[in-house]
Amino acid sequence: MAEAAIAADLAHADSAMWIFRRSDEAILADARTLEAEGPRDRPLWGVPFAVKDNIDVAGIPTTAACPGFAYTPETDAPAVRRLLDAGALLVGKNNLDQFATGLVGTRSPYGIPRNVFDLKLVPGGSSSGSACAVAAGIVRFALGTDTAGSGRVPAAFGNIVGLKPTVGSVSARGMVPACRSIDTISVFARSVDEALSVQRVIAGFDVEDPYSRAAPFPHLRRGQARAPARVAMADVAALCEPDVTTAYHAASVFLGATPVDIRLFLEIARLLYDGPWVAERTAGLRGVLDVQPDILYPTTRTILELGLERRAVDAFGAFHLLRQARRRAALLFVEYDALVLPTAPFCPTLAEVAADPLRPNHRLGTFTNFANLCDLAAFAVPIGFAPNGTPIGGVLLGPAWSEGRLAPLADTLHRKFATTVGATGKPLPPPAEPDALEPDETGLFCIGAHMAGLPLNHQITSLGGRFLREADTQPGYRMFALGNRPGMLRAGDGAAIAGEVWAVPTSAIGVLLAQVPPPLGFGTVLLDDGPCLGFLAETAGVGDGTDITHLGGWRAWLRMKSED
């Protein structure tokens, strides 16, 4: 893989993609060492990768695309160290919008990485070089960062996947901050599952990072894709170019999405560049702005100086509005599994950005700026091409710690609308198998409103539950409709009942049971492949219910009711 990475980089020949590219000799020497050592159970053994140059790699200068700011760290950022320990092979450090301030990918004194599809278009930023290195087939994955969409917008323009993790799930030590309170290291990869595999390596609580958060449950385990999913969408026609609207509509129809109102999220998105978070960017670089302003890229300096004009009274108004948006998001994801949006409303040309460095950049963040502020996780995936060949991206958003649950849905969406990686013409790698039931999980057989797409499913997913498979009981059960939920009894004259098996953290089973009203409870249910914990009812509590055993399951009952 090392020789292939070097050859692909030579063929692509874009020096602006890199700020520091390791020598061929150094890359090959590391590859030989890895080969001699063997895999040793390292999940990324020999896989070439690159790192955005606002993340520390020991012995290599960190510039954040500002030569006057450069320093040479003695230690790796924890995320980088984890990747190297997992056997990954470092190729180099990538160009970016200076100090990760921008979504266009043009704000760097090291040049502008080429858009891999059209030389006239921007590559997207701020993680421009990282995305281009994956889209050009040079590396399998790359680290970026994401504050306002920097890990998603360039993924869309490169026809690749961008994973924006839950803020605080990856240590931010060794990363030059943009907005420290909402920054996260992100992942660019060829597929959803490859991005998730990288995230599994780099994620983890770091007591030395004050913004690090401990995951409430193992959130990166992949479930099985399950229809119907409950997906929300928005009316974006007035905000997007027609080709983007068309592709987004097709993706929304494929997902069976339902329109919702996202105006509050869009208002929060505008505040990221016009509100107090501009001042947070300025605070992080106050020393540079006060002492060495001339080392800054002109547009970067303009943006940072705007932060000096922000008022505390306006900040508190923005913070109160953000609390409303977070509450709105929390309620949205009780009703829906995901929100699908375009990744970007358009892809500007280099000429458009040169003529107006600010407004096209602001527009690119229309659907991305609010995600970190509202504490969401996201996968950006390709959803098609415009007639002129420009790739178009969509993003699936979910609440914090939902990456593993979003992955099968995002992968299904990706494979529906894309068959090749980036601009390489190579086929997508095969999807991963869902993770098996782990020792710290309990399989739970669900038969009613807790199943996928139904009103109480959020009680399971919010505790870290993930869909494993459809299943049927052995004959010997009767089902009764008890208003908005079913009750299932053991019965000698019963039948097989259809349901779903979900993996639930064992530590959460009691929490879930406390939410289940009588006469329902949990007991051992005999499935067609063996015993499983499942929903059962007390005999005395179903006397007034309607016997629906002959229908074979709750979904059949719901369909019959909807047809009445």
Q: What is the DSSP string of 324-360?
A: HHHHHHHHHHHH-SEEEEES-S---BHHHHHH-SSHH
Structure tokens at 211: 């913004």
Q: Catalytic pick from 126, 128, 171, 197? A: 126
Active site residue 52: yes
Active site residue 561: no
Residue 182, C-beta contacts closer than 8 angstroms, at least 6 positions apart = 147, 167, 277, 372, 373
Q: Which of 150, 171, 186, 212 is catalytic?
A: 150
pTM metric for this prediction: 0.95
The predicted-structure confidence for 77-101, as pLDDT tens digits, reads as follows 999 999 999 999 999 999 999 999 9
Backbone φ, ψ for residue 364 (5° rounding): -65, -25
Q: Indicate the SS3 state at residue 2.
A: helix
Cα 216 from Cα 508, distance rounded (Å): 10
Q: What is the pLDDT of residue 225?
A: 85
Residue in 52, 169, 191, 197 annotated catalytic: 52
Task: Count CB neighbours of 375 within 10 A.
Answer: 19
Which two structure tokens, joined as six digits, stand for 283? 């605070």
Domains and CATH numbers, the chain: 2-417 (3.90.1300.10), 441-563 (3.10.490.10)
Residue 427 exposed, middle or buried by CB count within 10 Å (0-12, 13-18, 19+): exposed
What pLDDT score does 153 carry?
98
Active site residue 150: yes
Specify whether the CB–CB gap between 520 and 486 falls below 8 A. no
Q: Whose CA is closest to 66, among 103, 110, 101, 22?
A: 110
CA distance 393 to 153: 8
Q: Are 77 and 174 in contact (CB under 8 A)?
A: yes
Res 281: pLDDT: 86
Helix, strand or coil, per DSSP, at residue 113: coil
The CA distance from 39 to 49, in Å, is 17
Cα–Cα distance for residue pair 535/521, rounded to 1 Å: 6
Give whole-number Cα distances, 38 to 55, 283, 393, 414, 489, in Å.
28, 46, 38, 33, 54
Helices and strands, counts by H and E, the chain: 19, 19
> Can you list the residues of the chain whose pLDDT is less than 70?
none
